[in-house]
């Protein structure tokens, strides 16, 4: 009986392989890209990313039966599940840069500001992302060299990159078919296209009904007319085309394939990380993964290892503006408005007059006497001493443009916010900020919606909360009061990540982290669930990987570490040659 069963299975696999070969051979030839035969004996790598799915919510989806195929792979021990740490900031640009190039240095969020040029950086524009990739890839070998990248931020040196921001304009979805690409897709897979059309129409109807309900119950509504279009493109059309393209690449034997599915992340931001809408998207993704893995196992012209992971997690959130009646921008304006107006009366480059110095000294002495001023003695003393010695006044005259003290840039990335003061192009110390805006820092520290206020003082990183302040420097740490990160799972790891972030040349003069109460995090954007900062599931993405491969997720503290571990297995001879060449150049 066992022999008959094995014969039937082998026959089925043979027929399936023949079917895939016949089906995708036509498509691959029409697309004009030959099969990749170089180093075909080396195991291939497939990474399927589910954008924004935290380890906790992935397990919840498994328990609820929303991802039955992945549950079966894990139950049969074909994949092993673990959580890992993406690092700070917990955003897609930083995570993908780390995974693909092993370098996410100076990517402080999804949005930031360049004080030197006055440019705002947002990782949605192809030109911006391309410039970031040029920076992070210098002298490094991408994880996807010679392979394919689909729906990513960066291409990882892939030979083919579609729907990838850093490579927009380089490749077309169906190259060399003169506009007939979707007809070919329809011809080889009409059921897929009919399903995509049907799901798009159904999604539109569901949104119309929910929009009508939101008019009846407007409080907390996050529905927009762009909502259905976002879901149709991200969660249906891009999903179907991406899956189809990955299967074509399996036929062609591409050495490395990385495809990101972004639909869950978009839906979770608007409806919640474990909402019915988000879990419905996961169930659809489970079917896509099943199709890809089925072809991987049956069509074995090249052996592939399958990795399924997320780039970061998602934490339930309460919007700062909704909870406290004003946005973060309005709060900062409220506590810097008087200083901005008074600065308009000063002439550019005149420095601080003596009367202003004495006025600020009196103000600071008064603040030092207040018992609730938790940031307190060390920072205020440093400010007062610099004023009394007139050192700072001399620097102001040379380096600061006081006519611009009202020009403050706030750049939010979920529960992370960077604040920039344009009075000087360099990054400012906390004591200098207190000098210009005497009440701002303590107002932010005392605010219920802000968990930590982070800044610099010389070569030290200052992490302040309502209960205490931590000073981190080359000589170690100094704690005053309660540990400001005591509410997080791992204080040491969080401290290390914050100190690293503050060393980025484009990190803010002040960096804020939304308060985390153990259930929800305060978000500086209008999102039901968010990521970017610290606290909760946003810190912990998941990875499902082949048990036979030596991946050590517990040793990953930042996405850069994921790159190191993957390249150790899939880097090949070229990686060793590059490393040897770099070592020889270093010796010279």
The H or E element that residue 212 is part of is helix 190-216
Q: What is the pLDDT of residue 351?
A: 39
Sign (positive or negative) of CA dihedral 45, 48, 54, 60: negative
Q: What is the pLDDT of residue 178?
A: 36
How confident is the prediction for the chain on average, in pLDDT?
A: 80
Span 14-45, pLDDT tens digits: 555 555 555 556 555 555 455 555 555 678 99
pTM over the 0.85 mark: no
Span 372-387, pLDDT tens digits: 445 555 665 666 565 5
Instruction: Check if the beta carbon of residue 120 is closer than 8 Å to that of residue 132.
Output: no
Q: What is the pLDDT of residue 343?
A: 28
Report residue 265's pLDDT band, with 50, 70 and 90 as the boundaries. very high
Span 458-515, pLDDT tens digits: 999 999 999 999 999 999 999 999 999 999 999 999 999 999 999 999 999 999 999 9
Q: What is the pLDDT of residue 163?
A: 83
Q: What is the pLDDT of residue 358?
A: 47
- Closest to 224 in 3D by CA, of 271, 265, 262: 271
Report residue 344's pLDDT band, with 50, 70 and 90 as the boundaries. very low
Residue 483 vs residue 357, higher pLDDT: 483
**Residue 192 burial (10 A CB sphere; 0-12, 13-18, 19+):** middle
Range of weakest confidence among 141-150, 245-254, 331-340, 385-394: 385-394
Q: Domain map of the chain by residue range?
A: 2-34+44-313+540-587, 318-347+405-536
The span from the CA of 19 to the CA of 39, in Å, is 25
Pick 2-34+44-313+540-587's CATH classification: 3.40.720.10, 3.20.80.10, 3.10.110.10, 3.20.20.70.
3.40.720.10
Instruction: Calculate mean pLDDT across residues 573-581.
Output: 50
Span 4-13, pLDDT tens digits: 655 554 555 5
Range of weakest confidence among 53-57, 96-100, 266-270: 266-270
Instruction: Calculate mean pLDDT across residues 240-257.
Output: 88
Residue 279 vs residue 298, higher pLDDT: 279
Report residue 352's pLDDT band, with 50, 70 and 90 as the boundaries. very low
DSSP designation for 541: B
Span 110-143, pLDDT tens digits: 999 999 888 989 998 888 999 999 999 999 999 9
Residue 404 vs residue 9, higher pLDDT: 404
Residue 234 vs residue 588, higher pLDDT: 234
The span from the CA of 48 to the CA of 282, in Å, is 13
Instruction: Check if the beta carbon of residue 418 is closer than 8 Å to that of residue 109.
Output: yes
């Amino acid at each position: 009986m066992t022999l008959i069963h094995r014969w039937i299975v082998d026959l089925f696999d043979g027929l399936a392989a023949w079917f895939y070969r016949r089906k995708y051979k036509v498509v691959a030839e029409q697309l004009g890209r030959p099969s990749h035969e170089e180093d075909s004996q080396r195991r291939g790598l497939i990474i399927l990313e589910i954008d924004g799915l935290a380890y906790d919510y992935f397990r919840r989806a498994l328990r609820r039966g929303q991802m039955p195929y992945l549950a079966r792979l894990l139950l049969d021990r074909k994949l092993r599940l673990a959580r890992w740490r993406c690092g700070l900031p917990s955003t897609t640009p930083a995570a993908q840069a780390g995974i693909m190039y092993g370098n996410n240095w100076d990517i402080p969020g999804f949005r930031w500001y360049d004080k030197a040029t006055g440019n705002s950086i947002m990782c949605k524009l192809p030109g911006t992302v391309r410039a970031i990739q040029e920076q992070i890839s210098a002298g490094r070998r991408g994880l996807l060299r010679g392979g394919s990248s689909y729906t990513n931020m960066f291409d990882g040196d892939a030979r083919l990159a579609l729907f990838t921001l850093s490579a927009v304009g380089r490749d077309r979805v169906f190259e060399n078919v003169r506009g007939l690409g979707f007809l070919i897709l329809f011809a080889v897979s009409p059921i897929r296209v009919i399903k995509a059309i049907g799901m798009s129409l159904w999604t539109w109807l569901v949104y119309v009904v929910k929009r009508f309900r939101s008019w009846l119950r407007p409080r907390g509504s996050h529905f927009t007319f762009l909502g259905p279009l976002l879901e149709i493109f991200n969660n249906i059309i891009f999903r179907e085309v991406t899956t189809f393209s990955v299967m074509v690449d399996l036929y062609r034997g591409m050495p490395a394939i990385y495809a990101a599915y972004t639909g869950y992340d978009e839906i979770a931001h608007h409806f919640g990380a474990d909402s019915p809408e988000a879990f419905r998207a996961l169930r659809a993704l489970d079917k896509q993964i099943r199709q890809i893995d089925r072809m991987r196992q049956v069509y074995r012209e090249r052996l592939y290892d399958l990795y399924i992971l997320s780039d970061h997690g998602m934490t339930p959130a309460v919007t700062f503006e909704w909870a406290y009646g004003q946005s973060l921008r309005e709060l900062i304006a409220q506590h810097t408005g008087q200083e901005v107006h008074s600065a308009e009366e000063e002439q550019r480059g005149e420095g601080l007059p003596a009367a202003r110095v004495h006025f600020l000294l009196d103000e600071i002495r008064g603040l030092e006497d207040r018992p609730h001023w938790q940031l307190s003695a060390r920072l205020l003393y440093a400010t007062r001493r610099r004023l009394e010695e007139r050192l700072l006044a001399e620097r102001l005259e040379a380096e600061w443009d006081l006519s611009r003290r009202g020009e403050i840039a706030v750049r939010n990335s979920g529960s992370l916010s960077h604040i920039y003061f344009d009075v000087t192009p360099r990054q400012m110390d906390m004591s200098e900020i207190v000098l210009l805006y005497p009440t701002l820092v303590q107002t932010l520290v005392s605010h219920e919606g802000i968990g930590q206020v982070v800044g610099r003082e010389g070569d030290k990183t200052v992490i302040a909360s309502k209960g205490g302040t931590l000073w981190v420097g080359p000589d170690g740490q100094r704690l005053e009061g309660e540990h400001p990160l005591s509410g997080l799972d791992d204080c040491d790891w969080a401290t290390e990540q914050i100190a690293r972030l503050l060393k980025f040349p484009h990190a803010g003069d002040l960096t804020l982290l939304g308060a985390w109460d153990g259930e929800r995090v305060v978000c500086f954007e209008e999102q039901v669930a968010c990521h970017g900062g610290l606290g909760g599931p946003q810190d912990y993405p998941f990875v499902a990987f082949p048990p036979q491969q030596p991946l050590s997720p517990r040793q990953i503290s930042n996405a850069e570490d994921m790159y190191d571990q993957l390249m150790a297995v899939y880097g090949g001879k070229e990686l060793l040659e590059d490393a040897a060449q770099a070592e020889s150049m270093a010796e010279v």
